[in-house]
């Protein structure tokens, strides 16, 4: 894709990753392998001009030692550390507020980066300069809320080509469901029933909606949309950022191909194969006896396993910075969001 006058470049970007792994037990048993793959795929596949800052948000010593090893010779430009977990919104406020470049590429610590992940997001920012955030992994969760400004823009902007009935590829949403502890079958039903708006101009396409676990955006727009006061909650609240961006009149958009992928609390077999094909090492999964007392009880009492395990997975998602939004059927007329290198969103 050709560059445009005044379009953003990789040298304008500071990549920011917030890492929080309090221990390596239970839900977090395999989290060190996830963090390693997240950062190694980011460092391998980012442009050389893009710098990387990691904020260690009160992680355990094992993760701290790994991060220290990435400084300097490992390719990490900056490592900032907090002794305790201050929450994702506060970590964003600190890092974005002191960013020395006009754009940030934010990521949680459980995202896998494909080759060429940054440039398509910059292309969307360049073609649609009203954007506040652009993600490389659109999902239904990113496109079912905080869209008033974006949808108003699609109706008012006469230069846009708008296709309101696009759909996210089903495999992408099934991947998302598994990585977040949701029901893949229910997610598949939602995907088939929920159209998303796709917009295009000058050869650049985007989908309406953005996911807050990975995005690229201008610091001048993102930082004022974060909580003005020190957030009191250490879990969730990330949808507040989406809502604030929408209220400020900025667009929330996604690329139409999948350039990053959410991993969750363990590296899936699919991502493991992708990583192996790229020469990225992945540690073998950790198996029991690394169980928490709660998990031991669940293993012993199968009768209550289902309901409590769902609750436990939801707690893990909250610790991971994700808000709990119950899966629900979506009316066919409702708008929604997309993702995979080499495959476009179906119309």
pTM, full prediction: 0.84
Give the DSSP H or E segment for 283: none
First to last CA, the chain: 22
Cα dist. 189→145, 171, 192, 200, 306 in Å? 19, 12, 5, 27, 21
Enter the tokens of residue 248.
């400020």
Domains of the chain in sequence order: 11-284 (3.90.550.10)
Enter the tokens of residue 105.
């590429």
Task: Measure the CA–CA gap between 242 and 226, rounded to whole angstroms.
Answer: 10
pLDDT of residue 330: 34
Residue 139 backbone dihedrals phi, psi, to 5 degrees:
-140, 165
Helix (H, G, I), strand (E, B) or coil at 334: coil
Task: Measure the CA–CA gap between 218 and 13, rounded to whole angstroms.
Answer: 9
**pLDDT per residue as tens digits for the range 120-154:** 999 999 999 999 999 998 899 888 899 999 999 99
Q: Low-confidence residues of the chain, pLDDT below 70?
A: 1-6, 231-236, 287-347
Task: Measure the CA–CA gap between 264 and 186, rounded to whole angstroms.
Answer: 18
Q: What is the dihedral of CA 322, 266, 175, 115, to 10 degrees?
A: 100
pLDDT of residue 72: 72
Task: Measure the CA–CA gap between 88 and 336, rounded to whole angstroms.
Answer: 25
Which is it for the CA torsion 93, 223, 257, 119, positive or negative? negative
- Cβ-contact 175, 258 below 8 angstroms: no
Give 67's contacts (C-beta < 8 A, 6+ positions apart): 19, 54, 56, 59, 76, 79
Largest CA distance in the chain: 63
pLDDT of residue 343: 37
pLDDT of residue 4: 57
């Amino acid at each position: 894709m050709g560059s445009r006058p005044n379009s953003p470049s990789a040298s304008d970007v500071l990549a920011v990753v917030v890492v929080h792994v309090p221990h390596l037990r239970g839900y977090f048993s395999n989290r060190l392998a996830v963090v390693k793959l997240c950062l190694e795929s980011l460092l391998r596949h980012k442009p050389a001009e893009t710098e990387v800052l990691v904020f260690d948000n009160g992680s355990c010593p094992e993760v701290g030692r790994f991060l220290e090893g990435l400084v300097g010779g490992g390719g990490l430009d900056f490592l900032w550390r907090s002794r305790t977990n201050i929450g994702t919104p506060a970590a964003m406020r600190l890092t974005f507020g002191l960013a020395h470049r006009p754009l940030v590429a934010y990521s949680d610590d459980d995202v896998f980066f494909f080759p060429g992940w940054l440039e398509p997001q910059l292309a969307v920012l360049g073609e649609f300069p009203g954007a506040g955030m652009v993600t490389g992994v659109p999902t239904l969760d990113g496109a079912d809320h905080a869209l008033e400004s974006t949808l108003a823009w699609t109706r008012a902007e006469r230069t846009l080509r708008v296709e309101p009935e696009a759909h996210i590829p089903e495999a992408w949403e099934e991947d998302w469901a598994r990585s977040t502890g949701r029901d893949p079958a229910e997610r598949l039903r939602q995907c088939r029933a929920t159209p998303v708006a796709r917009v295009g101009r000058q050869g650049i396409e985007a989908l309406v909606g953005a996911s807050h676990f990975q995005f690229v955006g201008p610091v001048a727009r993102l930082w004022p949309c974060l909580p003005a006061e020190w957030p009191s909650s250490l879990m969730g609240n990330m949808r507040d950022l989406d809502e604030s961006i929408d209220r400020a009149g900025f667009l929330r958009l996604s690329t139409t191909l999948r350039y990053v992928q959410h991993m969750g609390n363990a590296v899936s077999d699919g991502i493991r194969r992708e990583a192996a094909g790229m020469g990225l090492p992945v540690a073998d999964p950790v198996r029991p006896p690394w169980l928490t007392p709660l998990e031991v009880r669940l293993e012993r009492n199968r009768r209550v396993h289902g309901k409590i395990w769902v609750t436990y997975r939801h707690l893990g998602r909250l610790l991971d910075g994700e808000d709990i939004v119950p899966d629900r059927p979506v009316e066919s007329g409702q708008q929604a969001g997309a993702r995979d290198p080499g495959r476009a969103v179906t119309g």
